[in-house]
Amino acid sequence: MFITLKNGDKMEIAENATCMQAALAISEGLARNAVCAKVNGEEVDLSHSLNEGDMLEIVTLKDKEGLKVYRHTCAHVLAQALKTVYPTCKLSIGPVIDNGFYYDVDFVTPITQADLAKIEVEMQKIIKSNLPIERFTLPKDEAIALMKGFSENYKVELIEDLPEGETISFYKQGNFTDLCRGPHLPSTGKIKAFKLTSIAGAYWRGDEHNKMLTRIYGTAFAKKDEMEAYFTMLEEAKKRDHTKLGKELKLFAIMNEGKGLPFFLPNGMKLKNALIDYWRQIHTRDGYVEVNTPIMLNRTLWETSGHWFHYRDNMYTTKVDEEDFAIKPMNCPGSILVYKNEPHSYKDLPIRMGELGLVHRHEKSGQLHGLFRVRCFTQDDAHIFMTPEQIKDEIKGVVRLINEVYTLFGFKYHVELSTRPENSMGSDEDWNNATDALKSALDDLGLPYVVNEGDGAFYGPKIDFHLEDSIGRTWQCGTIQLDFQLPQRFEMEYVGEDGGKHRPIMVHRVVFGSIERFIGILIEHFAGKFPVWLSPVQAKILPITDRQEAYAKELCAKMKEKGIRVEVDDRNEKIGYKIREAQMEKVPYMLVVGEKEAEAGLVAVRRRDKGDTGAVSADDFIATVLSDISEKTVF
């Protein structure tokens, strides 16, 4: 029989040949590195039997899907080790997450971080045994009986929630069997490098009314050196932790009186305002108008937008004059009301409408983290209202703007196109048209992207930008969402060239995403050493003795007139101490002024990462700083 390979080639194989046998027929090297396969787009085990006409793709650890399967198998090895070391424990779920996996377990006697070492020893034994991993299926009633026989009540509950008549799959390795959809590695011996990292508490099914389980986190990599590099990165990330640096640099605080509601301190506001000034500058240049909409609007609006039904659990609500209101979790419905406030012609379009809107979303307390996961944040939103003919050019314009911003900060990035989710509004035709428009714009720009099936917004597909920071971590920030639904739900209109009424198309887009979260990312990306244009304090003048204070203050006033954020450290301390303090505050420029500098109108310049760079005239230094600010130099 014949199958089709990823590159489109046809290949003849024996009847009922497995994916592994097909991989061997292609090359022994491919078979040796194979993790699982995709057959007609669906991930399957290498033991899966092929049929005539199947589309086959062999997945290795070089593929993102391959690493997920590898880590998922490691989670099963962890579960088997736990049942060996703690026979009375009950297993729940063990999914793959970014950079690793976890397993939620119900222990009779709680375990501690110190217990992870002996669990790892048992895992190593299982891996060394190279146990074959075999898939089998059972009807629902037999699957329940099997798990009841193992006294795995959490697994029984999971199976009971599955539809009637569904066939349930399991995976067996040695004397251990686990409920799982798969796929998995062909044997446990394929795992080369893993580490259990931490434990935490987690409610069963994420419901705080359920029992608290123990979550064991781990990671796994194809090679030991890759795992070592990962842990080196984690150590570097600890040094850059934005919650730690945010406190040390006096940027922001999270108070007990407002958990998840960040307070920006004076230094943090200087940084935030610098970002906002930059945002306004580039948006004004690109033809955006800025609006501001109310923080709270009535229930009718949110019902029309669909948020009341699709996003209700994440919204804060209240009553005003016996009428239901919601604090806005998103800015888009308010922008639509601005659009509808007056009639529009096709000559007005596109309208690019920006808003730095404060939004609130309900996040569980256990998920809050610094500026990364908060309950209120400033979304640098923009909504573009356009004709169908303008879609491609507007999408391309937004992509260029996002590229400009990320390049300025030194971020690499990759792009994902997210398609229709299960919980969505609108017709197949609208979704197909919207998705095709995004694909076409990306193709025209020659921008590589991967398709993220089913991860779009409930009202339309989207393009997501994932940043890579200076130590290799990725962050999802920018997004472009094409929306055919809200213009219909709000009955938005414009008068076309033919004199008739037409429905505009709407784009939702952010560049920073959340300004608060973006600041957290920048803190860690730059390790608190911000470029001059962003630094809360751009220069610090350090007089050696009190006799130079008058000159220092005169120079400070002159620099402030030029818009430079500068301070004088006139404390009665030794100059070495002042320099160390300024260095700890990560100030880009330190200006040491002694008797000689004061008499000659000079400054002895120290740069944050280069030390002494020599004495220059005060005017020359001011020119240098102004150039750094205007050019947005990164050093």
Predicted local confidence at residue 434, as pLDDT: 85
The yes-or-no verdict on residue 193 having pLDDT over 90 is: yes
What is the CATH number for 77? 3.30.980.10
Question: Domain check: are 452 and 357 in the same one?
Answer: yes
Give 138's strand partners: 168
Predicted local confidence at residue 98, as pLDDT: 85
Predicted local confidence at residue 619, as pLDDT: 95
The yes-or-no verdict on residue 311 having pLDDT over 70 is: yes
List all residues 6 or more positions away from 141 whose beta carbon is below 8 Å from its beta carbon.
Answer: none
Among residues 76, 383, 517, 608, the one annotated as catalytic is 383
Residues 329, 315: Cα–Cα separation, whole Å = 6
Q: Which domain holds residue 376?
A: 247-525
What is the CATH number for 325? 3.30.930.10
Q: Which of 240, 165, 127 is nearest to 522 (CA)?
A: 240
Question: Domain check: are 205 and 173 in the same one?
Answer: yes
Active-site residue flag, 104: no
The answer to the question of residue 404 being in a domain is: yes
Active-site residue flag, 381: yes
Question: Domain check: are 491 and 581 in the same one?
Answer: no
Among residues 36, 89, 332, 376, the one annotated as catalytic is 332
The yes-or-no verdict on residue 78 having pLDDT over 70 is: yes
The answer to the question of residue 390 being in a domain is: yes
- pTM comes to 0.83
The answer to the question of residue 530 being in a domain is: no
Active-site residue flag, 379: yes
Predicted local confidence at residue 460, as pLDDT: 85
Question: Domain check: are 377 and 479 in the same one?
Answer: yes
Dihedrals phi, psi of 119, to nearest 5 degrees: -70, -40
Domain-terminating residue out of 60, 80, 101: 60
The answer to the question of residue 252 being in a domain is: yes
Residue position matching structure tokens 């005060």: 618
Among residues 184, 361, 420, 578, the one annotated as catalytic is 361
Active-site residue flag, 502: no
Q: Predicted confidence band at 635 (pLDDT cuts at 50, 70, 90)?
A: low
Predicted local confidence at residue 19, as pLDDT: 94
Q: Predicted confidence band at 366 (pLDDT cuts at 50, 70, 90)?
A: confident
Q: Which of 28, 12, 68, 21 is nearest to 48 (CA)?
A: 21
Active-site residue flag, 508: yes
What is the CATH number for 10? 3.10.20.30
The answer to the question of residue 515 being in a domain is: yes
Predicted local confidence at residue 240, as pLDDT: 94
Question: Domain check: are 220 and 264 in the same one?
Answer: no
Cα angle at 407 between 609 and 505, to 5 degrees? Answer: 150
Q: Which of 591, 497, 469 is nearest to 538 (CA)?
A: 591
Residues 66, 184: Cα–Cα separation, whole Å = 9
Q: Which of 390, 292, 410 is nearest to 349 (CA)?
A: 390
Q: Which of 623, 569, 563 is nearest to 591 (CA)?
A: 569
Question: Domain check: are 268 and 197 in the same one?
Answer: no
Active-site residue flag, 462: yes
**Burial class of residue 201 (count of CB atoms within 10 Å of its CB; 0-12, 13-18, 19+):** exposed
Tally of structural domains, the chain: 4
pLDDT, one tens digit per residue, over 413-447 is: 999 999 998 878 778 888 888 898 899 999 998 98
Active-site residue flag, 74: no
The answer to the question of residue 403 being in a domain is: yes
CA dihedral 294, 299, 304, 309 (to 10 degrees): 120
Question: Domain check: are 275 and 316 in the same one?
Answer: yes
Q: Predicted confidence band at 457 (pLDDT cuts at 50, 70, 90)?
A: confident
What is the CATH number for 609? 3.40.50.800
The yes-or-no verdict on residue 568 having pLDDT over 80 is: yes
pLDDT, one tens digit per residue, over 491-544 is: 999 999 999 999 999 999 999 999 999 999 999 999 999 999 999 999 999 999
Buried b (16+ CB within 10 A) or exposed e, 223-252: eeeebeebeeeeeeeeebebbebbeebebb
Question: Domain check: are 49 and 73 in the same one?
Answer: no
Mean pLDDT over the full length of the chain: 94
Question: Domain check: are 546 and 519 in the same one?
Answer: no
Question: Domain check: are 47 and 70 in the same one?
Answer: no
pLDDT, one tens digit per residue, over 6-46 is: 888 999 999 989 999 999 999 999 999 999 999 999 999 99
Among residues 379, 390, 538, 548, the one annotated as catalytic is 379
Predicted local confidence at residue 147, as pLDDT: 97
The yes-or-no verdict on residue 218 having pLDDT over 80 is: yes
Q: In what order do the strands lie in the sheet with 167-173?
A: 133-139, 167-173, 176-179
Question: Domain check: are 341 and 476 in the same one?
Answer: yes
Domain-terminating residue out of 211, 237, 263: 237
The answer to the question of residue 288 being in a domain is: yes
Domain-terminating residue out of 42, 60, 78: 60
Question: Domain check: are 202 and 314 in the same one?
Answer: no
Distance of alpha carbon 345 from its chain centroid, rounded? 38
Residues 355, 465: Cα–Cα separation, whole Å = 20
The answer to the question of residue 534 being in a domain is: no
Residues 370, 590: Cα–Cα separation, whole Å = 30
